[in-house]
Amino acid sequence: MERPTLYINGRFLGQRLTGVQRYALETLLALDEELCKAGAARSFDAVVLAPPGTPAPALRSLAFRCQGPFRGQLWEQLTLPVLTRGAWLLSFCPTGPLLKHTQVVTIHDAAVYRVPESYGRLFRSWYKFLLPRLARQSAVVMTVSEFAKSELVATLDVTAERVRVSGEGWQHLERIAPQPSVLAKHGLKPGGYVLSVSSLAPHKNFRVIARALEHLKDCGLTMVVAGSVDGRVFDGSSQAALESLKLVGYVSDEELRALYEHAAMFIHPSYYEGFGIPPLEAMASGCPVLASKAGALPEVCGDAALYFHPDDPLELASLIRRLASDPAERTALVQRGYDRLRAHSWTGTAHCHLAVVEELLRPRSESTAAAFAEVAPRLEDARW
């Protein structure tokens, strides 16, 4: 019997690598590895489709094709449903063709609803139009945490039964060799700075760090912010706080790993997170983590982080001072971080996708029909 073919939406391979694209790339690579292990015993073939000119990833088992006219959203909305007609489509990012029903899409959070100020008007409008429609018509919606699942159920027209949690991983860090020269480049001493990884989005909440620094004038630690950040978030901060702050801008993956490894601690102050990979990267680098009590961060970090309220700079300052002055607690927190890492892996994420795909591709049976009873009528009527 001929094996069915699963198509994978590879549009993300031509995009800049942010958290969503990191998830997509690492899940793709882990899925490729698992299918390679299965060999001839695998139950389906898989092809990654991408717009013309997309760079090919290093794959061992999955086929890769740049195919069809158009690029970007036009390719995804017009070309992709034609290329995948009569087959299932898997998207690791929160976008997909509106003209296709036989698909599985990943929606990472409900940030455009919960923190709309973090997005431009056009982006926000498009996602508010797209996400509920994709959620309604997709057979299964994948997401990254139980928190994110509850958010999607609350904001989109999707039932909890159709949302599956895949988790995320940190193992991509193992492929990266640290580049410690970044410390000398920015005048940093090992153990002499606190690290945070930034974004322009207001919900990342870097203002609380500047406010915490105002209460840490004598701690002797420099606050390093890596990545893109708008300096205006620190407007109104004291001169002492600003002097303890160092914005190093974008750094390479190799430089970032070195910054993790030599930091006294890592701070993740976000108001809203569907998952949060940077705390796991810090844990994997032996760096203790301070995280806000917001979104999925407590779910992801468990007992391997010290928590503060994202609106309480005094609480954050107290935790920084406490961890900086207690080597035993720091050592214990680092060890709990290593232990916590066992709960997260890209291989586990791939297995979650494999379970869904194999269920969808399996010949119709009573159990399959029962599991997908809610979407069965739409799948029967689907043209694509």
Q: Which amino acid, 328?
A: A
Q: 354 and 221 in one domain?
A: no
Q: What is the pLDDT of residue 54?
A: 97
Q: What is the pLDDT of residue 190?
A: 96
Measure Cα distances from 154 to 1, 149, 160 in Å. Answer: 42, 9, 10
Q: What is the pLDDT of residue 231?
A: 53
The per-residue pLDDT for range 257-310, each reduced to its tens digit, is: 999 999 999 999 999 999 999 999 999 999 999 999 999 999 999 999 999 999
Q: 160 and 24 in one domain?
A: yes
Q: What is the pLDDT of residue 133?
A: 95
Residues 117, 272: Cα–Cα separation, whole Å:
12
The boundaries of the domain holding residue 267 are 177-343
Q: What is the pLDDT of residue 230?
A: 54
Phi–psi pair at 276, nearest 5 degrees? 110, 85
Number of domains in the chain: 2
Q: 303 and 226 in one domain?
A: yes
Q: What is the pLDDT of residue 245?
A: 78
The per-residue pLDDT for range 247-272, each reduced to its tens digit, is: 888 899 999 999 999 999 999 999 99
Q: 151 and 137 in one domain?
A: yes
CATH of the domain at 233: 3.40.50.2000
Q: 71 and 183 in one domain?
A: no
Those residues of the chain that have pLDDT short of 50 are: 233, 235-241, 364-384
Question: What's 75's DSSP letter?
Answer: I
CB-based contacts of 249: which residues, under 8 Å, 6+ apart?
226, 227, 228
Q: 36 and 20 in one domain?
A: yes
Q: 39 and 97 in one domain?
A: yes
Q: 309 and 246 in one domain?
A: yes
Q: What is the pLDDT of residue 72?
A: 94
Q: 192 and 156 in one domain?
A: no
Q: What is the pLDDT of residue 368?
A: 40
Q: 303 and 154 in one domain?
A: no
Q: 251 and 151 in one domain?
A: no
Phi-psi region of 54 (alpha: psi -120 to 50; beta: other; left: phi over 0): beta
Q: What is the pLDDT of residue 363?
A: 64
Q: 305 and 241 in one domain?
A: yes
Residues 64, 58: Cα–Cα separation, whole Å:
10
Strands (E), the chain: 5-9, 45-50, 63-66, 88-91, 103-106, 140-143, 163-165, 193-198, 222-227, 245-249, 265-268, 289-292, 305-308
Q: What is the pLDDT of residue 281?
A: 97
Residues 332, 321: Cα–Cα separation, whole Å:
16
